[in-house]
Structure 1
Amino acid sequence: MSIAGGLAVIGWPFAVWLVIAYPHLHILLPILALCFVLRLCTLRGKTGALSRAFKGLAIAGAVLCVASIWMREAQLLLWYPVVVNGVMLALFGSSLFSRMSIVERLARWREGDLPPAGVRYTRRVTQVWCVFFIVNGSIALWTSLAGNIHWWTLWNGMMSYVLMGLLFAGEWLVRQRVKRRYE
């Protein structure tokens, strides 16, 4: 079930492209909605801010699919990446106003106790992710409003994932340097 839910999230841009470019493939909509419901089921019983965010995103994906079926308007599907970036910005951004940022929580889960420099570093990384979600969400919004399915699919199905991967890799490289400096 977790694999189906993950595939729904990653494959979303391509499935949306298929549904919009080839309207006779609207049969994919109930399948996508089911994948999001399965994703929600895999998260049942999990707690924490990240789990709540993922549950909300699964519900949003299912609602967009059902609304698209009901309203016979596949263009609604274009809004999912905007919702994802908004939810992630809210999650990461709100954590900056709490005792521990989301990146610090993840780091402590993996590394244990953090020195003050590590806490400052994780707060900065959380801020960088907030900027990423603002930029990525803005471009996702622009591609949704532009209505060009090819641009939308290129950005939301490839470029945003490439940039996210580069951000992960770059942060990992910087983290290694920071760790060596403070060890």
Structure 2
Amino acid sequence: MRRLTAILLPVIGLLYPFLVYFGMEHVDTPVFALALGAVWLIRAPSLLKQPGGRWMVGAALAYCVILAFSGEAALLRWYPTLISLLLLSVFALSLRFGPPIVERIARAREPDLPDAAIPYTRKVTWVWVGFFIFNALTSTILTLWEPISWWTLYNGLIVYFIMGVLFIGEWVLRRRLRGKS
């Protein structure tokens, strides 16, 4: 059951643009809000233990409440922007109040992380801050001025391609840097 709940939120996140695209005409906005809120509540216990988890859960649930009570289908398109802004906040605040998120992730795999790796993890965290700024802006522009088909294509496919390039690029760079040390 724990594994199921651990993958539920990411899967809903991946499918969300398509659910909105295909469901806006057939599902009332409060139903979307209720389902999304339920997913966040299911994941809340584990998210509350993570850096920035309280803010993420609180903001996501506040979004669901606004969505439910407004009934505005147009608000459904703001969810990817909200998530990007929340992740931007978590990553940026970790740079200010440390340790950076990427360092925390690295230490989870390698508790005795070499001191030389710390500046690198800080730089990678900055790259993700830049990505979240770009993603929030792109998603906002698509929400405000472009058709839902473009919004769905970007938020349901293109953004994951960009993230994949970032992950693979960082992995390749890290392997090269480790080979030189």
Range class of TM-score, shorter chain: 0.7 to 0.9
The CA distance in 1 between the partners of 2:113 and 2:35, in whole Å, is: 44
| Counterpart in the other structure of 1:113 | 112
From the superposition, tell whether residues 92 and 32 of structure 1 become closer, same or farther in structure 2 (CA, over 3 Å).
closer
Measure how far apart 1:83 and its partner are: 1.2
SS state at 2:96 partner: coil
Q: Which runs of 4+ in 1 moved over 6 A?
A: none
**Can you give the 5+ residue segments of structure 1 that lack an aligned partner in the other structure?**
none
Give the share of equivalent positions with the same residue, in percent.
36
- Give 1:62 shift: 4.0
Q: Superposition pairs for residues 100-179 of structure 1, below 5 Å? A: 100-179=99-178
- Among 37, 40, 45, the residue aligned to 1:36: 40
Letter of the 2:37 counterpart: A
Deviation at 1:59, TM superposition (A): 4.2
- Decide whether the 8 Å contact of 1:96 with 1:123 is kept in 2: yes
Quote the residue 2:11 is aligned against: 7
In the TM superposition, what whole-angstrom CA distance separates every residue of 1:125-182 from its partner, at most 9, and x where no partner exists?
A: 1111111111111101111111521111111111111111110111011111111111
Q: TM-score with structure 1 length normalisation?
A: 0.84
CA deviation string 1:63-110 (max 9, x = no partner): 434433322211111111111111111111122223421111211221
Residue correspondence of structure 1 range 42-81 to structure 2 within 5 A:
42-43=46-47, 46-49=48-51, 52-53=52-53, 55-81=54-80
Corresponding position of 1:25 = 27
Equivalent position SS for 1:167: helix
- Measured against aligned partners, the alpha-carbon deviations of 1:40-60 in whole angstroms (never above 9, x if no partner) come to 2454xx5241xx33x543444
Between the aligned partners of 2:134 and 2:149, the Cα distance in structure 1 is 19
User: Does the C-alpha gap of structure 1 residues 4 and 120 become closer, same or farther in structure 2, counting only changes over 3 Å?
Assistant: closer
Letter of the 2:11 partner, please give it.
Answer: L
Question: Separation in 2 of the partners of 1:148 and 1:40?
Answer: 33
Correspondence for 1:87? 86
